[in-house]
Amino acid sequence: MSKGKIAIVGIGEVPTGWYPERDEWDIIYDSCMEAVRDAGINKNEIEGVLCSPAVGQARLDSELVFGKLPEELGLKGCKDIASVNAGGSTSANLLRVAEQWISSGTAKIVLLMHATKYSSIDPNDLIKTFATAGMSMEWEYPFGTTYNGMIAMSTQRFMYENNITAEEMASIPVAFRKWAELDPNAMFRKPLTVEKTLSTRMISTPLHSMECNMLADGGAAIIVTSPEIARKICKTPVYKLGEGSRYCQATITQRTSSMMDRMYREAAAAAFKQAGLSIKDMSILELYCAYSLLMPILLVTLGVCKNGKDAVRFIAEGNTWPGGQLPCSTIGDALSRGHTGSGVGFAYLVETVRQLMGKAGDRQVKDCKYVMMNCAGGSGMNMIFEIFGRNS
Amino acid sequence: MMTAYIKPLPVAKPWSKKFWEAARQHKLIMQKCSDCGKLIFYPRKVCPECWSSNVGWIDVSGKGKVLMMTTTIAGVEQAFAPDLPYVLAVVELEEGVHMMTNIVDCKPEDVKIGMAVEVVFRDCTDEISLPVFRPIQGRGSER
């Protein structure tokens, strides 16, 4: 029996970066039109539209929630539109809603999109938005919490528990950059070294500026339909084969590393079980890490490495780089790609499809059959693993 | 003389008012469920374990150790900029709960994971004193 209940048949994406002259609706036009053309469909065949939240951009977010997109783009066959917000785990939830719309007959073909423009927002307002987004205004914010600070604390703890040096941690942004060097849509593409990473300004110990992500503009779109329609209209449809998720608490003080380890393992096991596949079947792991820390943690969770020390060594030795034995995070993660609010998980979804369709250019992983990706919202309030493949 | 406090103050919930009243008296208290016995932090309207409304308050030791820490050096809101560098930390109390806080009264580079700390209160306004922690003199770190 076929496991795939939905298939992706088209993708579109604009470069991520700092583009103050590019209007947010330019991003939406360009990425949605590219996805429709890539799918080879007529725009009026789109029956449903699902939008990501424009985090920290109240104007654009309200325009999307108020249903402007189908009108602006002239989608004459559109039956409904909705916004879905699960922070950094939005892309996986857009797909869940798309699956329901498709299986229930609400819409045969659905457009999913994300657009973000931070370059026109005052930097102090951006810092404030992300210092307070989701933070407890009572128990965290008064102490001067920042996202960099939260991740910095967890990173320091990880280094302490696993006896890892600053040099070893700095090999992770380098591994991300190896892929970004090959990615025309990445924000930072110049070659990076461990020495260079450690020579940048300290932001929040142990994180240097090159280990903290930069907010950026960007956007993308995909076309989703049923496997039956996909086989008729697309030579290389990409099927969603399995997923697993766990809720991990919203606040850092309510978590422990052993709780997170258990939740991640359970979520991954559920995804593998649903897909009927194992880690050995994966051609690529599209690990959405946001910062360096999650990459070694996920490599341990997924059973690729025994412990944190091994995982960092595995990365430093180039095993996750282009040409390595297990390509990981082939858009260079948020550190090299740029952080687009709720959009990094969407960018990973687009890249997953691109690799499985064989359209990844210089980054193409040979004979790519199955890809696992993950995404998470908030400061790690959940963890979702998804598995995609060329065969249903 | 106390200068005006410009940093954000905690926005208290109705069920956490007692916590802040005690903090103003430089006492650290926690909710405890009178039905299931769970120690609750941060304060909730009902016990998150069993949904009992029968939730009381107990004094806690105010002693614990640094579980996680970072020295914040850059990238903060203007209100926090005069404090840079400052230590942001999660402290594990002897009673087991974790609190976000700052480590004070020492050099940032001297703060280590596992270090023994005790609560002190930062008087911000007439109503609000924030629980922060300082190293316990003469007690080393766990490692």
Would you tell me which residues 61-120 of chain B have a C-beta closer than 8 angstroms to some C-beta of chain A? Answer: 67-78, 80, 83, 86, 88-90, 97-102, 113
| Cβ–Cβ contact A258 with B under 8 A | no
Contacts of A156 in chain B (CB under 8 A): 68-70, 113
The class that CATH gives domain A7-120+218-233 is: alpha beta
End-to-end CA distance of chain B: 40
Q: Is residue B134 part of a domain?
A: yes
* Residues B68 and B56 grouped into a single domain: no
Q: What confidence score (pLDDT) does residue A124 get?
A: 80
Strands A48-51 and A80-83: parallel
Q: What confidence score (pLDDT) does residue B138 get?
A: 67
Listed in sequence order, the residues at least 6 apart from B117 whose beta carbon sits closer than 8 Å to its beta carbon are B63, B64, B65, B66, B91, B103, B133, B134, B135, B136
pLDDT digits (tens, 9 = 90+) for A121-140: 988 888 878 878 888 999 99
Q: Is residue B3 part of a domain?
A: no
* Residues B33 and B78 grouped into a single domain: no
| Cβ–Cβ contact A143 with B under 8 A | yes
* Residues B101 and B35 grouped into a single domain: no
pLDDT digits (tens, 9 = 90+) for A352-364: 999 999 999 999 9
Q: What confidence score (pLDDT) does residue A377 get?
A: 95
* Residues B43 and B83 grouped into a single domain: no
pLDDT digits (tens, 9 = 90+) for B47-84: 999 999 999 999 999 999 999 999 999 999 889 999 99
B68: distance to nearest CA of chain A, Å? 5
Q: What confidence score (pLDDT) does residue A127 get?
A: 80
Which of A122, A130, A141, A153 should we substitute to test contact with B (largest number of B Cβ atoms within 10 Å)? A153
CATH code for the domain of B101? 2.40.50
Residue A225 corresponds to which tokens in the numbers above?
A: 């339909």
| pLDDT tier at B142, thresholds 50, 70, 90 | very low
What's the whole-number average pLDDT of chain A?
Answer: 96
Contact at CB, B130 and A142, closer than 8 angstroms: yes
Q: Which of B5, B40, B60 is the last residue of a domain?
A: B60
- Provide mean pLDDT across the span A297-309: 98
* Residues B43 and B105 grouped into a single domain: no
Contacts of B111 in chain A (CB under 8 A): none
* Residues B134 and B93 grouped into a single domain: yes
Question: In whole angstroms, what is the distance from residue A355 CA to residue A343 CA?
Answer: 18
Contacts of B101 in chain A (CB under 8 A): 143
* Residues B108 and B39 grouped into a single domain: no
Contacts of A204 in chain B (CB under 8 A): 70-75, 88
Q: Is residue B47 part of a domain?
A: yes
Q: Is residue B9 part of a domain?
A: no
H-state helical runs in chain A: 24-39, 58-65, 68-73, 90-104, 123-132, 147-162, 166-169, 171-180, 194-199, 227-233, 257-275, 294-301, 308-316, 333-337, 344-357
Residue in A with minimal Cα distance to B16 = A138
Query: Which SS3 state, helix, strand or coil, does residue A173 take?
Result: helix
- Provide mean pLDDT across the span B6-22: 95
Residue B143 corresponds to which tokens in the numbers above?
A: 């490692």
Contact at CB, A146 and B12, closer than 8 angstroms: no
Q: What confidence score (pLDDT) does residue A135 get?
A: 87
Percent of chain B with pLDDT over 90: 89
Q: How many CB pairs under 8 A join A and B?
A: 104
Q: Which of B25, B44, B60 is the last residue of a domain?
A: B60
| pLDDT tier at A2, thresholds 50, 70, 90 | low
State if pTM tops 0.90: yes
Would you tell me which residues 321-360 of chain A have a C-beta closer than 8 angstroms to some C-beta of chain B? Answer: none
* Residues B101 and B39 grouped into a single domain: no
| pLDDT tier at A315, thresholds 50, 70, 90 | very high
Max CA distance (Å), chain A: 59
> How many domains does the structure of chain B reveal?
2
Q: What confidence score (pLDDT) does residue A123 get?
A: 82
B141: distance to nearest CA of chain A, Å? 13
Q: What confidence score (pLDDT) does residue A129 get?
A: 83
**CB-based contact A154:A292 (threshold 8 Å):** no
| Cβ–Cβ contact A146 with B under 8 A | yes
Question: In whole angstroms, what is the distance from residue A262 CA to residue A256 CA?
Answer: 10
| Cβ–Cβ contact A123 with B under 8 A | no
**CB-based contact A101:A110 (threshold 8 Å):** yes
Q: Is residue B2 part of a domain?
A: no
- Provide mean pLDDT across the span A74-88: 97
- Of the candidate ranges A120-134, A277-291, B117-131, the one whose mean pLDDT is the lowest: A120-134
pLDDT digits (tens, 9 = 90+) for A175-216: 999 999 999 999 999 999 999 999 999 999 999 999 999 999
- Provide mean pLDDT across the span A108-118: 98
- Provide mean pLDDT across the span B130-138: 92
Nearest 5°: phi and psi at B31? -75, 145
Q: What confidence score (pLDDT) does residue B143 get?
A: 40
Q: What confidence score (pLDDT) does residue A4 get?
A: 84
Domain holding B127, by residue range, is: 61-143
B76: distance to nearest CA of chain A, Å? 7
Q: What confidence score (pLDDT) does residue A3 get?
A: 75
Q: The complex's ipTM?
A: 0.95
Q: Which of B35, B60, B85 is the last residue of a domain?
A: B60
Contact at CB, A143 and B78, closer than 8 angstroms: no
Q: Is residue B7 part of a domain?
A: no
Percent of chain A with pLDDT over 90: 93
